Amino acid sequence: MTSPSAKILEKTWFAYAILVFTTLCWGFNAVFGKLIVGEISPMAIVSIRWFGVAVLLLVFFNKPVRRDWPQLRKHLLFFSIMGIVGYASFNALFYVASHSTSGVNIGILQGSIPIFVFFGAFVAFRTPVTLMQAAGVSLAFLGVVIVASAGDLANLKNLTFNIGDLIMIVACSLYAAYTVGLRNRPQVSAMGMFTVMAGAAFLASLPMVAIEVYSDQFLAPSPKGWVYAGLITLFPSFLAQLSFIHAVKLIGPGRAGVMVNLAPIFASGLSVLILSEPFKLFHGMALVLVLGGILLSERGKPKT
């Protein structure tokens, strides 16, 4: 008979295993963002991605959606805004940025999301800030600046930046706003909430596709584009999110959230291995600063 402590240990290790899978999927998203260039236009992939996720959720998780619908309907505007900001808008800028920056840069810059969450939580909720947190955020911010300036801080003086990096930073700020906003989410099931937000993201993507068509920027999926669209829908969008939700249930949001910091590492490594992108000294410095700053900030959280 398995002891209670052994069961807890087994549950914990399983949670960490699926979190590694989750962050690996999110790391692959940076690679997919580069692979789809020339195969499908950015807004088209956003639309296909969230349509596919919404359909999968309705097929496999329609019971919690039906059960929670009266409560979900009351807060439809809130969940729609969350889906538009955190899913549709973030992904749209993510894939646009992929056209003009590297997968390594995208991966590292994703590490800036906790920085924006930190500032957003302070502005919106006056969350207490410790000296260690401030130091950690400063280190992480320095890492983002190093990536945006391509390792040459003289570019700051000349205001010379890669447009793709700047777009990615804006995308990260939107995802951070979504994260901060979820602190006020109504008490409904995670799957019901995820389904409504995915549906809102798909609907929000339709005007984006229309603008792409009108501006003659629309590119219908090639055969490879359809394959990448399917992989993006299934792994970074559907399975990764389900795994993360389950891990949070097992070990809590705090411990699960720290593991998200693996995503920039996976994204950078996979971009080097699969896309043969160069990994320069300034990339390594930036990665250490971003991840080290985030971990320092986590350790410096006010005791509750």
Using alpha carbons only, what angle is made at residue 166 by residues 77 and 224, rounded to the nearest 5 degrees?
80
Residue 228 vs residues 37, 221, 284: alpha-carbon distances, Å? 11, 9, 28
Split into its structural domains, the chain has a count of 1
Pairwise pLDDT comparison (263 vs 194), residue with the higher score: 194
User: What is the domain extent for residue 158?
Assistant: 10-299
Q: What's the pLDDT score for residue 156? A: 58
Give me the mean pLDDT over the 121-126 stretch.
83
Tokens for 210?
């229309």
Q: Is residue 258 part of a domain?
A: yes
pLDDT band at 2 (very low <50, low <70, confident <90, very high): low
Give me the mean pLDDT over the 24-36 stretch.
94
The proportion of the chain whose per-residue pLDDT surpasses 90, expressed as a percent, equals 46
Q: What's the pLDDT score for residue 140? A: 81
Give me the mean pLDDT over the 79-104 stretch.
94
Pairwise pLDDT comparison (239 vs 131), residue with the higher score: 239
Using alpha carbons only, what angle is made at residue 211 by residues 209 and 214, rounded to the nearest 5 degrees?
110
Q: What is the mean pLDDT of the chain?
A: 87
Q: Is residue 3 part of a domain?
A: no
- Using alpha carbons, select from 26, 23, 20, 161 the residue that is nearest to residue 91: 26
201 within 8 A of 87, measured Cβ to Cβ:
yes
Would you say residue 44 has pLDDT above 90? Answer: yes
pLDDT band at 64 (very low <50, low <70, confident <90, very high): confident
Q: Is residue 80 part of a domain?
A: yes
- Using alpha carbons, select from 298, 288, 248 the residue that is nearest to residue 268: 288
Q: What's the pLDDT score for residue 138? A: 83
Q: Is residue 154 part of a domain?
A: yes
pLDDT band at 211 (very low <50, low <70, confident <90, very high): very high
Q: Is residue 229 part of a domain?
A: yes
Would you say residue 288 has pLDDT above 60? Answer: yes
Q: What's the pLDDT score for residue 144? A: 82
Q: What's the pLDDT score for residue 159? A: 52
Would you say residue 160 has pLDDT above 70? Answer: no
Q: Is residue 144 part of a domain?
A: yes
Q: What's the pLDDT score for residue 43? A: 97
Q: What's the pLDDT score for residue 49? A: 97
Q: What's the pLDDT score for residue 4? A: 63
Pairwise pLDDT comparison (288 vs 11), residue with the higher score: 288
Q: What's the pLDDT score for residue 296? A: 80
Give me the mean pLDDT over the 264-285 stretch.
89
242 within 8 A of 2, measured Cβ to Cβ:
no
pTM (predicted TM-score): 0.89
End-to-end CA distance of the chain: 37
Most confident of 104-118, 182-196, 232-246, 281-295: 232-246
Give me the mean pLDDT over the 99-105 stretch.
91
Q: Give Cβ neighbours of residue 88 (< 8 Å, ≥ 6 apart).
A: 46, 50, 200, 201, 202, 204, 205, 208
| Interior/surface letters 173-191, b for 16+ CB within 10 angstroms, e for the rest | bbbbbbbbbeeeeeebbbb
Q: pLDDT tens digits, residue range 214-263?
A: 999 999 999 999 999 999 999 999 999 999 888 888 877 666 777 777 88
Exposed, middle or buried, 119 (CB in 10 Å: 0-12/13-18/19+)?
A: middle
Pairwise pLDDT comparison (19 vs 260), residue with the higher score: 19
What secondary structure letter does DSSP report for 263? H
User: Whole-angstrom Cα distance, residue 273 to residue 271?
Assistant: 6
Q: Is residue 293 part of a domain?
A: yes
Give me the mean pLDDT over the 59-84 stretch.
91
Q: Is residue 1 part of a domain?
A: no
